[in-house]
Structure 1
């Protein structure tokens, strides 16, 4: 486990993009588990810029979306695959045949999830995954629970998570969907290069809880990353503001 403290969100995004590009350049056909949400938008902007500058070639890269809202079609502007096209896929030279995402409108979502998990296995597993931390400690849509599921699955979203995401659905009469599809904790823990990005003062208590408590708790899913063999936290100074200097030095 490693903590890298950056000045601000802009620097977090640049550092994260540079790490992704380094991995892609070393392994052009790497498997990238794409995150949605506000946290990675800056990173995607930097990745597009680096591609336009000729610093990286995405033509062989393979991708799997990390999660998706159940019931949303790909063309729905609230769907995560729409987000990926808007911020990344449509601006680089990735082969769309190598882009995979959950079929959120499948008749049998459980069967779809099982196949999606198998597709990740058949691809050789994930080389890169990036996540933020939800206000309740969730990663992807692995919500706090008495147990966590290992592979891609359907999840009923906590009200706290729906509230956290409601600003993205302010133009939608039905509001945030009640259910989502999420990659599971086994898939996250087996990812070869795992990154957590956090920015802003509101993330500081979440990181303090994670690093000052040795417990692995399914009610705080991000705590499972304490057991990950290769995880880096790319955070800004505000997010790091409640961490003791001893902790920052230990994980430097």
Structure 2
């Protein structure tokens, strides 16, 4: 893993946005995998700034988001689709036909997951994937367990994950849906390049396990050790458990 520790979260976010913009300039037809949550917020703000300066053109870029709450329609203000609309999509020049999302309100969740995997395959897979990491080591909504699921699937959310998502639901973890639809590990690990963002002391243990621990489904992020091109961008608190080289 290519590990970089920045002086602050804002510095890391600016560097990540610059990296993404450079990748899009080099290949305008890039296929991006995008996360939600707190970690990418400043990256999206920086991308909006770059777009306003004329330094980012997403008109030929395709996006696939990683997950969506089960049971929430896209227009629900707590859905990840609404999150992306607020923080990125409404402020850049991505055509609606190039934005791809799992539909949490689909009547057949299994069929929706099959549809989504087929759409990613038809696009040629993910070229550049941005990820956060949960305090328990989850990536997308692939939670720790006895084993991991390779394809998109319905995932039960852990108590820790639902607590972390409480700000999206008025700081009430009890209002967070119990399940979500998520990309499986295969799509994540087959992405050509992976950027992982982690900030704050609450992520330090998961980052340490991801980098130094065994490859185990008990820490899904640890499987990124097997990927050939991973960039891990941290602030000092998240990096506090790493062994210095």
- Same fold by TM (over 0.5)? yes
Q: For the superposition of Structure 1 and Structure 2, which TM-score range results when normalised by the shorter chain?
A: over 0.9
Structure 2 matches for 1:114-193, cutoff 5 A? 114-170=114-170, 175-193=175-193
Structure 2 matches for 1:85-124, cutoff 5 A? 85-124=85-124
**In structure 1, C-alpha distance between the alignment counterparts of 2:243 and 2:174, rounded to whole Å:** 43
2:229 paired residue number: 230
**In structure 1, C-alpha distance between the alignment counterparts of 2:180 and 2:162, rounded to whole Å:** 11
**In structure 1, C-alpha distance between the alignment counterparts of 2:212 and 2:152, rounded to whole Å:** 30
Residues 1:51 and 2:43 are matched in the alignment: no
2:219 paired residue number: 220
Residues 1:36 and 2:46 are matched in the alignment: no
SS in 1 for 2:110: helix
Matched pairs, number: 245
Moved >3 Å (runs of 4+):
171-174
Structure 2 residue runs of 5 or longer lacking an equivalent are none
TM-score computed with the length of structure 2 as normaliser:
0.96
Partner deviation per Cα, 1:162-216 (whole Å, 9 max, x = no partner): 1221232127796000110110100000101101101112222222222232x11
**In structure 1, C-alpha distance between the alignment counterparts of 2:212 and 2:148, rounded to whole Å:** 22
SS in 2 for 1:237: coil
**In structure 2, C-alpha distance between the alignment counterparts of 1:171 and 1:140, rounded to whole Å:** 21
* CA spacing shift, 1:175–1:57, aligned 2, 3 Å: same
Structure 1 residue runs of 5 or longer lacking an equivalent are 247-252
Contact 2:110 2:154 in 1 (8 A): yes
